[in-house]
Each structure stands twice: as structure tokens, then as C-alpha cells.
């Protein structure tokens, strides 16, 4: 049994030193699992004032007094000090303990033991203290093993989720990382059967008026921050006693994990990035089907997103993946959130730096059209990317914003996944404020086929001669074909876009038809050429 760094009274009585005295438990046999933190031997009448609690007091009875009133008062004072047990050796003062002492101990809830044989108190003290020290060392070893596992996880590329997961597994209870003002950053571990840890934390937040103190049975460990003040706190680690009690070794392990988390958070620069990544993880898990639609509203609510019954609009912004300046993604999430505040609709913004994505969900309020909201969101996303330094003039991979189809929670995951894939497939298309994910389905299909040799063969058959011409001759004809097809064969509009007179355009189109051996007025030929032009972006080496 865990004894908070000591041993139990029961264990102390089983050791050879006290066992040799033939111990007899007179009172409170049901409380022998109390923790013994230290052993003290003494006979002074004022000894209760010298104790701090948790001691096993050894006595021959000389200090207990001769009058029943004195004896009862002495026992009450010991109980008030919170000692673990009183052990009295018979012979020097008493042949058997007086009724006043026994009744006082029983009334006070204090375990009382009498020894029928004389034992050397020095040997007993040494023996129990050795057990206590060994117990402390065992706790340290267990806590250090958690520290080593967390360190290995971080050195192996892990971060906050991995550290919290190790701690939650060790404590067999849910673990939460929150900001000093009580905002959730990360959660790990499971609660009781049928309980989601995020719902457990939400209940905790509602039941706890002040964030300074954890609820009964919980542990709160501060994660030091980077401020100059001694009391600088970056975050708080909260362990809840949901599936079982939390004891000393769990606090020791949490304190060591807090030190590692301080380093991880320092590397992340700020909790905003940690929170944004956490929201990005939630949105990605939703998109990948790892979160059931029925569970999503509660988890999103914990993260601050409560759209009510309004439809949800999935949006994904695609940027260049990492590397990016340190802290840029935190700045991006904050800037985008601030820009979107003017939209006036609930929004959940996350970041996925490795993929170079910013997924988000918005509530589509009554009276707001999808197109109008798409315009405002795209403008806010681009403004946020500019403020964060992640969209710069001349970038080879400009920002792409894709807006999915609006729907409920049941469709939100698929909508996010569709928008994310479409944003990847849209790289290299002409710049637009935003793309409708549904309009990119052909590009998405071609992108999924990008590694198939038949697609490259199709592109080569359809426009290969034109590509070869443009490598060696001028003017390049591919832009002419692209403009012509983009305007659905309307030659006047294509000529205006290309800044050509009509006759020049006609000559170029004739040359294109000659090189490709096809009729540009044939609908089937136009369809094939349109697909080939779209597909070539994915087959270029």
C-alpha cells in the first residue's frame, strides 16, 4: 500500500524490533494503515508540543501522568498533534495500561499498542527509520523513471501530449495542462467508465470558482514560466483523482514532469501556440474520424467553441509547411482570431505547422450567406498570415484558402478533410481570394492520381507536343490554350486577357491545333485538354 513516503503502523508492528515486544493493539485496530513518517521515543510530559504529526511515539509510560485526568489530557494532546500511534512498553510504569488511557485513545481515534516485553527503543527506531528511508528512495526511483520516460519522449520529438500521456498512464488518472487563468491547453488520460476527460475537466471548471486551489483529492503543480519574478507561472498541471487516489509519488512525478513541460513550453515560446496546436489536433482528429460526431460538440465546447444549432462552415488555409520563424504559428493563430472577431460568429481556429495548414470551423449565422462569410474569413486569414510574416510577396507557394460545404457536426469532419485535401490540390492554381471545395473536385481527383503512371502518360499524349514546342520556341503557346479554355472558347475574352488582337489569337490557336492534331471546337477534345492542363501541375518533375 502507498504510504506517502513512510510505512504503515501495521508494517511497523510486523518488523522484528516491535514484534519481539509481543505488541497488543488495544484501540483503533482499523486505523493501523496510518502512515508513520518518523519514530520518536520520549517520556517528557510536554512531548506532545514537540511533535509535528505522523510520528510513532514509543514510551514506557513515565510521562503519562498518575491521575486519570492527566492521562486523558495527555492522550488527547497526542491525538490533536496527529501522531500515527502510541506504543507503550509495560513494566517500568504499568503492568497493564489504565482504563483512562485506553478509553481516551479510543475516543480520540488514536491507535494504542502495549508491548508485553522490553525492547531496545534505539534498535526499533533505527529499524523503522531504515524502512522509511528505503520507502522514500523507492518513491524517488519511481518518480525518476517517469522523468526519464518524459525526457526520452521529448528528445525523440514528442511534446506536451506525450509528456501528459506518460504522466496520466503512471497516475492512472486524467491529467490536464491549463493556463494560470484556467483555460485548457491539453488533456490526457481516461476518466471513469463512460466519462470523457474533457467533460470531467469541464465539470471541474464549473465547480471550481477560484482557480488557485485544486478540488479535493486533486493535485495541482505549477509549471514555471520564463518571467523574472520568482512567482512566474507559465501553466498549471492538474491531476484529478477520478479513477483512484493520488498520492505522494504522483506529486513527485508531476513536479518532475512540470520541469520538462516548462522547457517544452519555452521552446514553443508561448501557450497560445500550444493551445492553437491543441485545437488543430482536435480539428484534425475530427477530420480523420477519430472523434465521433456525437462527442465533438462537448469537446469543442471545452475548447471554447459553442455554435449552438447553427450550421458549421469548414475552412482550411494552406501555407508553406515549417520551417517558419519561431512563434509565427502562435502569432498567426492569435492574429487570425483577432481578425475574425469582426465577423461576429463563433469560430474555432487551430494550426498544423507540419502540414502547413490552418483548419477552422465557423458558425454560419442566420442572415449570413456562405459566400459572404467565405469572403470575410478569407480576408481575415490572409491578413493574419501577413501579420505573422507567413505570407510574403514573391512566395512560390502562396496562401490558398478553401471553404467547404456547410452542415452539422455529422458532416463537419468530412468537410474539413475535403477542404484540407482540396487546398493541397489547389497549390499552383491561379490566385483567388478563396476556393469552393466542391469546385476543386476534379483537381482533387487528379492530385490523388498524381503518382499513377497513366496520368503522366495521358498528359504527355494530350499536350506533350505543345510542352515540347514551348521549351524551344517562342511565343509560348500553353498560356494561350489555358486562357482560351478558361473562357470556355470565347475568343474575344481570351484575347483581352492575353493582350492580343484577335487575328494573332486565331493564328496561335491554329498553330496549337496543328501541333496537337486536334480540333479545338470538338467538345471531347476540349475536355481532354482541360483535364490535361489541370493534371500537368501534379506530374511536373
Task: Tell me the CATH number at 257.
Answer: 3.30.450.40
3-state secondary structure of 371: helix
Q: Are residues 307 and 426 in the same domain?
A: yes
**Total domains, the chain:** 4
Residues 517 and 472 in one domain: yes
Contact 293, 412 (CB under 8 A): yes
Containing 26, the helix (H) or strand (E) segment is strand 23-27
CATH of the domain at 35: 3.40.1390.20
* Residue (of 320, 443, 350, 339) closest to 383 by Cα position: 339
| Structural domain span for residue 98 | 7-119
Cα–Cα distance between 317 and 356 in angstroms, integer?
Answer: 8
Say how many C-beta atoms besides its own lie within 10 A of residue 160's C-beta. Answer: 22
Position 282 in a domain: no
Contact 484, 509 (CB under 8 A): yes
Q: Are residues 420 and 323 in the same domain?
A: yes
Q: In what order do the strands lie in the sheet with 347-349?
A: 347-349, 357-363, 312-318, 400-403, 435-436
Consecutive 10-residue averages of pLDDT for the chain (541 residues): 66 91 94 89 86 90 87 92 93 89 94 93 90 80 89 86 90 86 75 52 51 66 64 78 84 90 73 79 93 91 89 90 59 78 84 87 91 90 78 61 94 94 83 89 87 88 89 89 88 90 91 90 89 81 40
pTM for the model: 0.54
> Dmax of the chain from CA atoms?
127
Question: Is there a single domain that holds both residue 210 and residue 104?
Answer: no
> Under a CB-based contact definition with an 8 Å cutoff, are residues 191 and 200 in contact?
yes
In the chain, DSSP finds a helix count (H) and a strand count (E) of 19, 16
- Strands 435-436 and 400-403, how do they pair? parallel
CATH no. for residue 304?
3.30.70.2730
- Shared domain for 239 and 370, answered yes or no, is no
Distance between CA 298 and CA 450 in Å, rounded?
39
- Report the chain's C-alpha Rg in angstroms: 36
Report if residue 77 sits inside a domain.
yes
Chain centroid offset of residue 220 CA: 17
- What is the CATH number for 500? 1.10.10.2840
Q: Is residue 407 part of a domain?
A: yes
Same domain, yes or no, for 330 and 372?
A: yes
Is the distance from CB of 434 to CB of 423 less than 8 angstroms?
A: no
Residue 90 is predicted with a pLDDT of 92
Q: Which run of H or of E encompasses 113?
A: strand 112-115
Asked if residues 339 and 383 have their Cβ atoms less than 8 Å apart, the reply is: yes
Residues composing the chain: 541
Residues ≥6 apart with Cβ < 8 Å to 490? none
CB–CB of 61/156 below 8 Å?
no
Q: How far is CA 181 from the centre of its chain?
A: 17
**Dist. CA 38–CA 84, nearest whole Å:** 9
For residue 232, what pLDDT is reported? 64
Would residue 55 count as lying in a domain? Answer: yes
Same domain as 99, residue 25: yes
Co-location of 414 and 454 in the same domain:
no
Residues 355 and 410 in one domain: yes
The three grid cell numbers given for residue 262, joined into one nine-digit string: 516548462
Asked, for residue 226, whether it belongs to a domain, the answer is yes
3-class secondary-structure state, position 238: strand
Write down which residue in 395, 413, 447 finishes a domain. 447
Q: Answer whether residue 136 is part of any domain.
A: no
Q: What is residue 201's DSSP assignment?
A: H
Place of cell 516491535: 18
Residue 498 lies in a domain: yes
- Same domain? 307 vs 375: yes
Query: Are residues 198 and 234 located together in one domain of the fold?
Result: yes
* Alpha carbon of residue 522 to chain centroid: 57
Q: Are 250 and 242 a contacting pair, CB within 8 Å? A: no
The CA distance from 82 to 54, in Å, is: 6
Grid cell locating 200: 470531467
pLDDT on residue 209: 42
Give me the long-range contacts of 395-401 (CB less than 8 A, separation at least 24).
Answer: 395/320, 397/319, 397/320, 397/427, 398/431, 399/317, 399/318, 399/319, 400/317, 400/318, 400/426, 400/427, 400/429, 400/435, 401/315, 401/316, 401/317, 401/318, 401/377, 401/433, 401/434, 401/435
**Is residue 175 a part of any domain in this protein?**
yes
**Measured in Å, how far apart are the chain's first and last C-alpha atoms?**
65
User: Are 250 and 371 within one domain?
Assistant: no
pLDDT for position 319:
83
Amino acid at each position: 500500500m502507498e504510504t506517502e513516503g513512510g510505512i504503515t503502523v501495521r508494517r511497523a508492528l510486523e518488523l522484528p524490533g516491535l514484534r519481539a515486544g509481543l505488541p497488543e493493539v488495544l484501540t483503533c485496530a482499523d486505523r493501523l494503515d496510518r502512515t508513520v513518517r518518523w519514530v520518536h521515543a520520549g517520556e517528557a510530559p510536554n512531548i506532545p508540543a514537540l511533535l509535528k504529526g505522523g510520528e510513532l511515539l514509543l514510551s514506557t509510560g513515565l510521562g503519562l501522568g498518575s491521575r486519570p485526568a492527566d492521562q486523558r489530557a495527555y492522550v488527547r494532546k497526542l491525538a490533536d498533534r496527529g501522531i500515527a500511534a502510541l506504543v507503550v512498553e509495560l513494566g517500568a510504569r504499568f503492568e497493564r495500561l489504565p482504563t483512562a488511557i485506553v478509553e481516551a485513545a479510543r475516543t480520540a481515534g488514536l491507535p494504542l499498542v502495549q508491548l508485553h516485553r522490553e525492547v531496545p527503543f534505539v534498535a526499533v527506531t533505527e529499524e523503522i527509520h531504515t524502512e522509511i528511508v528505503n520507502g522514500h528512495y523507492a518513491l524517488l526511483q519511481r518518480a525518476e523513471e517517469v522523468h526519464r520516460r518524459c525526457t526520452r519522449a521529448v528528445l525523440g520529438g514528442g511534446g506536451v501530449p506525450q509528456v501528459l500521456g506518460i504522466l496520466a498512464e503512471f497516475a492512472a488518472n486524467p491529467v490536464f495542462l491549463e493556463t494560470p487563468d484556467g483555460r485548457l491547453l491539453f488533456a490526457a488520460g481516461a476518466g471513469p467508465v463512460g466519462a470523457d476527460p474533457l467533460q470531467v475537466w469541464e465539470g471541474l471548471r464549473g465547480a471550481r470558482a477560484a482557480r488557485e486551489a485544486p478540488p479535493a483529492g486533486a493535485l495541482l503543480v505549477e509549471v514555471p514560466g520564463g518571467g523574472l519574478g520568482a512567482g512566474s507561472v507559465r501553466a498549471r498541471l492538474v491531476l484529478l483523482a477520478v479513477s483512484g487516489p493520488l498520492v505522494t509519488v504522483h506529486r513527485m512525478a508531476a513536479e518532475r514532469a512540470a520541469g520538462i513541460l516548462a522547457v517544452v513550453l519555452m521552446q514553443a515560446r508561448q501557450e497560445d501556440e500550444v493551445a492553437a496546436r491543441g485545437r488543430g489536433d482536435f480539428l484534425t482528429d475530427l477530420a480523420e474520424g477519430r472523434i465521433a460526431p456525437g462527442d465533438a460538440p462537448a469537446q469543442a465546447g471545452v475548447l471554447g467553441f459553442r455554435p449552438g444549432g447553427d450550421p458549421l462552415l469548414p475552412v482550411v488555409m494552406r501555407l508553406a509547411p515549417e520551417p517558419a520563424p519561431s512563434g509565427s504559428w502562435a502569432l498567426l493563430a492569435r492574429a487570425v482570431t483577432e481578425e475574425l472577431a469582426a465577423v461576429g460568429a463563433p469560430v474555432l481556429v487551430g494550426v498544423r505547422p507540419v502540414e502547413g495548414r490552418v483548419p477552422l470551423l465557423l458558425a454560419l449565422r442566420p442572415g449570413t450567406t456562405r459566400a459572404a462569410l467565405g469572403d470575410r474569413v478569407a480576408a481575415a486569414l490572409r491578413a493574419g498570415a501577413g501579420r505573422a510574416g507567413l505570407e510574403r510577396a514573391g512566395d512560390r507557394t502562396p496562401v490558398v484558402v478553401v471553404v467547404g460545404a456547410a452542415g452539422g457536426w455529422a458532416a463537419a469532419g468530412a468537410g474539413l478533410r475535403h477542404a484540407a485535401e482540396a487546398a493541397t490540390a489547389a497549390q499552383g492554381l491561379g490566385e483567388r481570394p478563396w476556393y469552393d471545395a466542391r469546385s476543386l473536385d476534379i483537381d482533387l481527383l487528379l492530385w490523388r492520381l498524381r503518382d499513377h503512371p497513366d496520368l503522366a502518360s495521358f498528359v504527355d499524349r494530350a499536350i506533350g507536343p505543345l510542352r515540347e514546342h514551348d521549351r524551344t520556341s517562342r511565343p509560348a503557346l500553353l498560356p494561350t490554350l489555358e486562357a482560351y479554355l478558361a473562357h470556355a472558347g470565347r475568343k474575344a475574352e481570351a484575347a483581352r486577357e492575353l493582350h492580343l488582337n484577335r487575328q494573332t489569337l486565331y493564328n496561335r490557336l491554329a498553330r496549337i491545333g496543328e501541333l496537337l492534331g486536334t480540333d479545338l471546337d470538338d467538345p471531347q477534345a476540349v475536355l481532354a485538354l482541360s483535364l490535361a492542363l489541370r493534371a500537368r501541375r501534379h506530374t511536373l518533375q
